A = this chain, B = another copy of it.
Amino acid sequence: MSDLPKRIDIHEEGPREGFQIEQGPISTADKVRFCEALAETGLHDVQCVSFVDARRVPGMADAVEVAQTIRQRPDVHYTGIALNLRGYERAVQTPLHITGSLQMSASNTFSIHNTNKNNEETLAEQRRQLEFFRDKGIEVDTAIVMTAFGCNFEGAIAPETVRDCVGSLLELADEFGIKLDRMRLADTVGWASPLSVQRVVGIVRDKWPDLKLGLHLHDTRGTGMANALMGLQMGIDSYDTACAGLGGCPFAGHKGAAGNICTEDLVFMAHEMGIETGVDLDALIECARMAEDIVGHQLPGKIMHGGSLSKFRHGAGA
């Protein structure tokens, strides 16, 4: 396991994932409390909200209020996402750390279902966004290829297709004089296996050996943590995760979906493998328990139920 990174960066997406999909109304105060607690654990990026149409995602109706209420620590990026210009316009008026991200789906059909735009129209929309980012002085740092490991509409996705998407996004950034910091590969609908992670990462890295990569993994079919292990073994040092496994999880009654891989489970595995995260695992487990308390039902994270090893480590357990 010689390619293991010494340290990984974790982008916490639990609040946004959870608040947008949970059925029960979650109070603004609870949302704020959860984001603030996460920021006390050593996490440097906490994705708090999504600036989407509240008619489509009622749980995000108070996104601006959440963003304005959070008491920010100076060493943490409190972020939010937007899917279109209208969303970005709302986002930049809040105190959140808003950066631009380019995105494209490796599955054209998924794009059409998800955003009503094919890949060509998506690139055109991205150009309009890039102009907006330039006008507003918004930094563009990453890009993401969605459905990079498979798609419910198009089936298996060839690694070559993902490579071509990465190429298109890099070209687009280049058009605007932007050098992307990192390319994230997303297993949007939970198709990835360790083998496909190896293949897709391999083909992208072969072409752009210096491009930093990140993984956005969902644990839809139980392979999430194994896929993350493959990422670690390939030296990938950036992961999008959700505290407590918040998100479209089966336990929330959203059949078929599943949240991102669970932040504290990944932190545990990393630490056990000698990989630093900068995160206080026990504090993060308390956040996961807070999340369960807030949503009012069991969440899929494991170590929040199994307990960390800290009290047993030196044989002090009973």
Contact = CB atoms under 8 A, between A and B. Distances in A.
Nearest to A219: B302
A22 B313 CA distance: 29
A272 interface: yes
B317 A223 contact: no
Interface in A143-189: 150-156
A131 to B, nearest CB: 35
Contacts of A250: 298, 302, 305-306
A308 B194 CA distance: 16
B315 A154 contact: yes
B269 A302 contact: no
Interface string A240-281: 000000000011000111100010111011001110000000
Nearest to A250: B305
A317 B301 CA distance: 29
Contact of A222 (B198, B220, B268, B316): B268
Given A155-B317, A228-B226, A268-B221, A195 B309 contact: no
Contacts of A258: 302, 305-306
A37 interface: no
A136 interface: no
A312 B223 contact: no
Nearest to A189: B312
A51 interface: no
Contacts of A155: 312-317
Contacts of A101: none
For A223, A300, A312, the residue with the greatest tally of chain B CB atoms inside 10 Å of its CB is: A223
Given A225-B223, A306-B221, A195 B265 contact: no
Nearest to A218: B306
A191 interface: yes
Nearest to A195: B273
A190 B315 CA distance: 15
30 contacts: A1-B194, A1-B195, A150-B309, A150-B312, A151-B317, A152-B312, A153-B317, A155-B313, A155-B316, A193-B273, A194-B229, A195-B274, A219-B302, A220-B303, A220-B306, A221-B265, A221-B268, A221-B306, A221-B308, A222-B264, A222-B269, A222-B302, A223-B269, A223-B272, A250-B305, A250-B306, A251-B251, A255-B305, A256-B305, A256-B307
Question: 7 shortest A-B CB distances, which residue pairs?
Answer: A222-B265, A250-B305, A193-B272, A222-B302, A155-B315, A220-B306, A152-B317
